[in-house]
Amino acid sequence: MKKTILLLGGARSGKSRLAQEMAKGISARVLYVATATAGDADMQQRISRHRKERPASWQTLEATCNLGQSISGSSKNCDVVLIDCITLLVNNIFCRHEEKQFADIDEAILDNEVQQEITDLIDCIKRTAVSFIIVSNETGLGLVPENRMGRLYRDCLGRANQRLAQIADEVYFLIAGIPVRIKPTGDLAALL
């Protein structure tokens, strides 16, 4: 049965590991969508390590943006699409703009770009007959970022996460490797 799962949590909370285990439990026919870019030696090593951790039978799609369109064209031979991660997708959108622009850029410009990407992804999820597992960081639990770019990033990612959570069948929040189910919730009437 097709379903959409969203995994949220902080850095190193176990989101990617759980996503891979969930994907394996659904099917061996997995399309792994990697949104990271190898901008420096550290990221190159991380990407290489992640590749080695995935089963060799999985297909990999490297897509830094235009996920909906990219997945639609690549999901024919899979039963589950694992997207890791929305956090880096939003970062990639921000990187289209020069750092000096963030002092004056209209927040609506960035938010529109992020929201269009999420709209296209949601449309893809709705029209594609496979399950989706989506990984994203929860950035709203820490201190308010000290600079405008950090605050804009937190806000845009937070709104993207909200939209994905709305359409997801299941949402989990990971803390120290332990998943806590957020959606569907239990019967609140029974608690009152």
- Left, alpha or beta for 5 (phi > 0: left; psi -120 to 50: alpha)? beta
| CATH architecture label of 9-186 | 3-Layer(aba) Sandwich (3.40)
Q: Give the domain ranges of the chain.
A: 9-186
Q: Please report the pLDDT score of residue 72 as a whole number.
A: 94
* Alpha-helix residue ranges (DSSP H) falling in the chain: 15-26, 41-53, 67-72, 86-94, 107-127, 148-167, 188-191
pLDDT of residue 175: 95
pLDDT at 187: 54
pLDDT at residue 89 in the model: 97
Identify residue 14 by its one-letter amino acid code: G
What is the C-alpha separation between 158 and 166, in angstroms, rounded? 12
Q: How far apart are CA 116 and CA 110, in angstroms?
A: 10
The model carries a pTM of 0.91
Q: What is the Cα–Cα distance from 105 to 107, expressed in whole angstroms?
A: 6
Active site residues: 50
pLDDT tens for the chain, 192 residues long, are 899 999 999 988 999 999 999 999 999 999 999 998 877 888 888 878 888 888 989 999 999 999 999 999 888 899 999 999 999 999 999 988 877 777 788 889 999 999 999 999 999 999 999 999 999 999 888 888 888 889 999 999 999 999 999 999 999 999 999 999 999 976 544 444
pLDDT at 51: 80
Beta-bridge partner residues of 36 = none
Task: With residue 135 as reference, give the H or E element that holds it.
Answer: strand 131-137
3-state secondary structure of 89: helix
